[in-house]
Amino acid sequence: MSTPTTGQRQYAKTPGQRARILDAAMAVFARRGERGASLREIAERVGMSQAGVLHHFGSKNALLLAVLDRFDQEDQPGHPLLTIDESVAFVREELVQGLQRPGLFQLQITLAAESIDPAHPAHDFFVDRYRRVTSQFVEPLDAAAASGGLRDDVDTTALAHLVMGAMEGLQLHHALNPEVDTVASFDLLLDVLAEAFIVSSTPDQV
Amino acid sequence: MSTPTTGQRQYAKTPGQRARILDAAMAVFARRGERGASLREIAERVGMSQAGVLHHFGSKNALLLAVLDRFDQEDQPGHPLLTIDESVAFVREELVQGLQRPGLFQLQITLAAESIDPAHPAHDFFVDRYRRVTSQFVEPLDAAAASGGLRDDVDTTALAHLVMGAMEGLQLHHALNPEVDTVASFDLLLDVLAEAFIVSSTPDQV
DNA sequence: GTCTATATTAAGATAGAC
DNA sequence: GTCTATCTTAATATAGAC
């Protein structure tokens, strides 16, 4: 029963090829944006024709959605972020990783900025994504505030937006000027915030 | 001599029309990016044909450069920024203005992100721009550090990048989610930084 | 599955009338 | 100065052979 002869013939669309196309699409979208990227450039990277790429994904739009889907997974924390320490460690690690895999952040920034346009095919995705990521960050902050780990007069929402905004803005600057040390600036922010807002039994703890 | 009859006839290319086209181009580039914008959409806004627009600027690329030129001017401080207070007040005011003129910041973010691609026509402009804006910020910080207004163990470059990065990242988030209060988050940052690094004779001063 | 060939659409740019 | 008409190019997508 491994290859049914009845019913519609299921073309495997070999997962291997799909993955290779996704890799290439991710890189090209990251460099050129969705609007600047062409199926031909993606196809060229994979070593096939433009029609070959479309055979696997049907349309450029579907390919974009598949890329966003995978991006979302790669970007997900392995476990739920319950404490501030975990959240901070997670985003900081993302920043460090980003230095070695510039493609991931570049994809994020390039597509997110393009997506400001409500007519952009990834608009809804990014609107939703930022909502999710924000709450993922606000929740540990609120929990900490409730349990006394954080000064209780802090606007946790403003704080979460600040940290996320700084992270992304720094990445944008870094992409345009590699001299920008994203991690140094981000650590500066984390240190200052910790000093100002974290109520800690043992001092000097981030 | 107001209209010389000798020599090459100088078509005025009425400054009024040029300005109207620039306005429209700025708005459309801000919404769609350079790659997503079309001369036709710009022309439609002005109420003329695509060929009419090209008559005034020659090419889409030239139009883009004209837009960047004007953007740079509108964004320039009226006077040199000598102290930290002046610099901070200036960028904060920009942020506040940005809420009422979303087009300006949207232009900045959208084109800057597109420009990460070295092949983008505005790449050099933004690389240069970030260099300039950064030094405009680092200089007052260094001056303050030298004169004792700032703790002298601060990495002023990292600090400048942090402030600029936060500003832009917050704008990006705001563009995708209007609930993001850019000014609130930015003020949070400024307060915390001032508290941590500014050596002030009178306390509580930003 | 992958190719070549082609249909279709949309873009920037040019030519020439008015 | 502005228009219409057209050239040229490049893109997505489809059809059909292998």
Q: How many CB pairs under 8 A join A and B?
A: 168
Cβ A49 to strand D below 7 Å: no
Mean pLDDT to the nearest integer, A41-46: 98
Instruction: Name the maximum alpha-carbon separation found in chain B.
Output: 69
pLDDT of residue A7: 42
By C-alpha distance, the chain A residue nearest B154 is: A188
Q: A117 CA, C17 C1': separation in Å?
A: 39
Mean pLDDT to the nearest integer, A82-105: 92
pLDDT of residue B75: 86
pLDDT of residue A206: 54
Question: In terms of C-beta density within 10 A (0-12 exposed, 13-18 middle, 19 or more buried), how is residue B90 classed?
Answer: middle
User: Is pLDDT larger for residue A96 or for residue B5?
Assistant: A96
Q: A120-155: per-residue pLDDT in tens?
A: 999 999 999 999 999 989 999 999 999 999 999 999
Q: A60 CA, D12 C1': separation in Å?
A: 8
pLDDT of residue B102: 86
Q: How many CA atoms lie within 13 A of A95 on its CB side?
A: 26
Shortest Cα–Cα distance, B135 to chain A (Å):
12
How far is A28 from A32, CA to CA, in rounded Å? Answer: 6
Q: How many CA atoms lie within 13 A of B24 on its CB side?
A: 20
Mean pLDDT to the nearest integer, B42-54: 98
Nearest Cα neighbor of A25 from A131, A122, A96 is A122
In this prediction, residue A13 has a pLDDT band, given cuts at 50, 70 and 90, of low
Give the range among B3-12, B37-46, B124-133, B138-147 with minimum mean pLDDT: B3-12
pLDDT of residue A75: 86
pLDDT of A9 > 70? The answer is no
Phi, psi (5° rounding) for residue B41?
Answer: -65, -40
pLDDT of A59 > 70? The answer is yes
How far is A18 from B175, CA to CA, in rounded Å? Answer: 33
Interface test with B, best of A162, A174, A197 (most B CBs within 10 A): A162
Chain A residues in contact with B32 by the CB 8 A cut-off are 117, 119
Mean pLDDT to the nearest integer, B129-157: 94
pLDDT of residue B98: 87
Question: Is A195 strand, coil or helix?
Answer: helix
Decide: B45 and B29 in contact? Cβ < 8 Å: no
By C-alpha distance, the chain A residue nearest B129 is: A176
Q: At what angle do helices B156-176 and A102-114 cross, to 10 degrees?
A: 50
**Does B36 contact A at CB distance below 8 Å?**
yes
C-alpha angle A146/B163/A182, rounded to 5°? 90
In this prediction, residue A50 has a pLDDT band, given cuts at 50, 70 and 90, of very high
pLDDT of residue B14: 84
Torsion of CA B21, B26, B31, B37, to 10 degrees: 50
Lookup: tokens for A148: 């006394």
Q: Which amino acid appears at position A46 of this protein?
A: V
Cross-chain CB nearest to A169 (options B31, B36, B167)? B167
Decide: B21 and B54 in contact? Cβ < 8 Å: no
What percent of chain A is modeled with pLDDT above 70?
Answer: 91
Q: A165-176: per-residue pLDDT in tens?
A: 999 999 999 999
